[in-house]
Amino acid sequence: MNKFNIEPINQERIKIDVEDIPQGLQIKLHGDIDMEDPSILLDPFFSKIHEGITSKKMKEVVADFRGLNFLNSSGIKAVAKWIMKLTDLADDKKYLIKILHNKDITWQVTSLPTLTFLVPGGVKIE
């Protein structure tokens, strides 16, 4: 279990693990997110991540998308909604979202880098 007791998600075609890292948390996404409304699953999950990180004034979340084969546009919107929460934070609570992507998966190459424009300096793609 991670330091915030955030439950991993393990459903039919999607698995999201949450692990502690020295500077914050790492989330690892695997599978396919193609359900009609993934925000039902993702919004509360990302809110817990955000609240945990800001409450402890941690500095980084690593979001590892390399094992995620597909994320539909509604899922990308849920990720964008999480990123936008960075804009409302006081300087001492700001954290970096580091997105790890797979250069061999087309949707990741075309969609994930655009998320860096939502909050300049708040998101880094590797």
pLDDT in tens, 5-40: 999 999 989 999 999 999 999 999 999 999 999 999
pLDDT in tens, 86-108: 999 999 999 999 999 999 999 99
pLDDT in the model for residue 12? 87
Q: Which long-range contacts (CB under 8 A, 24 or more apart) does 83-91 make?
A: 83/115, 83/118, 83/119, 83/122, 83/123, 84/118, 84/119, 85/46, 85/50, 86/119, 86/122, 86/123, 87/119, 87/122, 89/54
Query: Which pTM value belongs to this model?
Result: 0.95
Domain ranges of the chain: 9-125
CATH topology of domain 9-125: Transcription Regulator spoIIAA (3.30.750)
pLDDT in tens, 40-49: 999 999 999 9
